[in-house]
Structure 1
Amino acid sequence: MPAVAEMLKASEAAVVSRVSLRDVNRVIDEHILPEAFVSLDNGRHVLAGACSLITFYFESARRLTSEERLFTIRTAEARLASARSLPWSALLREDWTVHHEFLTIDLMPFMRGASERLDDLTAAREAVTSSPEILGGTAVIRGTRVPVHDVAASVSAGHSTERILETWPSLDAEKIRLATIYAEANPLRGRPRVLGDLPEGSVILTDRCVPRRRKAG
């Protein structure tokens, strides 16, 4: 899995933190995350270990004030900074309780959650490959010619696992799950693919034309 000290792209941090990309940008812009955990060189990046703090900040919003959440993050900052060289297994053996006046806040559940989602991100990275010899360098599921973003788009469109497997028999349920994680962590840029650009081996699941309504004269 990624090291505690690895810097994740903002879109990857959003997946690991289980928040939107907008929320990740917010914690950077509003300096909710300590500057030591953020890099703005060559794009926005966030310390992998700090994703747990992002999750905490948003998930605890209904129960804790902004001041209490920021105090907790600032208190955890020193501990996390000193643990940057540790593997995640060691990080999860640390004490992540924070005491603030009459409050006792346990960050361990957020650390465990980030650890599990980092495992998923690593598995998704390993499940995807790209080569100029395969569909011109399009990211595909490893060992296939199936574009990972097409699979994720089918999931987003509400197609069932069974239907997707009928279209791409070389996949399985776990590869479909990892494809959605990879696509979310690495969103496509530019204009959406049109039907005439479908890659080799793809099957059109539906092809329905809807006539345009004419305006009343």
Structure 2
Amino acid sequence: MISSEMLKTAEAAVVARVTPRDVNRVIDEGILPAAFSSAENGRRVWVTACSLISFYYESATRLTSEERISAIRWAEPRLSAWKTLALESLIAKDWTLHHDFLTIDLAPFFRKTVDGLAELEAARDMVTSSPDILGGTPVISGTRIPVYDIAASIAAGHSVEELLEAFPALDERRIGLAKVYAEANPLRGRPRPQRELPAGARIIRDRRVARRRQPA
């Protein structure tokens, strides 16, 4: 992927390891240069912007807001000049900023972006959708297991071990990628509470607790 290709807000949040709210904040407050985002077809940001977003939040305990924004402004013309390069090629560049007594190296954040993007692309490749399978519901490739059901089960507190026992066709890697996919492609509307494992799962154990009576 070239450095100027665009990601949806939720996708950028997954790659930068922040929340969608964090991504929207750096755009709305002008922390991220305007050239790195677009409002066409929904809000989107350059894939390299994920590196700057990650840097801004991860370095908050060590650098002031002014120092972080200054580093982002320093990186802006360099990224604009190299926007046709592949993301991996940017890692070989020198991303060290020297200012008086302060030295900042942005290279680790570009490496994290490459890793985060690889996870996102793996999650995309793992999910398929066909009218012939559950009416087009996105499922994990090679199965009839809805990807959002797995993600909802994780959010509800079910462990990876429980899901592995309930769905022998899955492995830990695919369960993790299901969570990545759901975060990058959130369902519209209020999510349905997932108090139980999805239909088709095998119950491993069933523990019931007696309800306490309220005092009269």
Q: What TM-score, normalized to structure 1?
A: 0.89
Q: CA deviation at 1:101?
A: 2.4
The residue aligned with 1:123 is 122
The amino acid across from 1:51 in the alignment is C
The unaligned stretches of length 5 or more in structure 2 are none
Whole-angstrom CA distance in 2 between matches of 1:132 and 1:208: 39
Whole-angstrom CA distance in 2 between matches of 1:188 and 1:149: 8
Aligned-residue RMSD, C-alpha: 2.4
**Secondary structure of the structure 2 residue equivalent to 1:170:** coil
Whole-angstrom CA distance in 2 between matches of 1:97 and 1:213: 65
Whole-angstrom CA distance in 2 between matches of 1:34 and 1:73: 8
Q: How does 1:1-217 map to 2 (within 5 A)?
A: 2-193=1-192, 201-203=200-202
C-alpha contact (below 8 Å) 1:140/1:148 kept by paired residues: yes
**Secondary structure of the structure 2 residue equivalent to 1:116:** helix
C-alpha contact (below 8 Å) 1:135/1:199 kept by paired residues: no
The unaligned stretches of length 5 or more in structure 1 are none
Q: CA deviation at 1:144?
A: 0.8
The amino acid across from 1:136 in the alignment is G
Q: CA deviation at 1:210?
A: 8.8
Which aligned segments of 4 or more residues in structure 1 are displaced greater than 4 angstroms? 202-216
Whole-angstrom CA distance in 2 between matches of 1:14 and 1:115: 14
The amino acid across from 2:120 in the alignment is L
Residue deviations 1:137-188 (CA, integer Å, cap 9, x gap): 1111011110111111122222222210222111111111111111111111
Whole-angstrom CA distance in 2 between matches of 1:166 and 1:189: 30
Q: CA deviation at 1:89?
A: 2.2
Q: What TM-score, normalized to structure 2?
A: 0.89
Pairs aligned (count): 214
Compared with structure 1, are the counterparts of its residues 124 and 210 closer, same or farther at alpha carbon in structure 2 (3 Å cutoff)? farther
Q: CA deviation at 1:192?
A: 3.2
Q: CA deviation at 1:211?
A: 7.1
Compared with structure 1, are the counterparts of its residues 145 and 101 closer, same or farther at alpha carbon in structure 2 (3 Å cutoff)? same
Whole-angstrom CA distance in 2 between matches of 1:53 and 1:74: 10
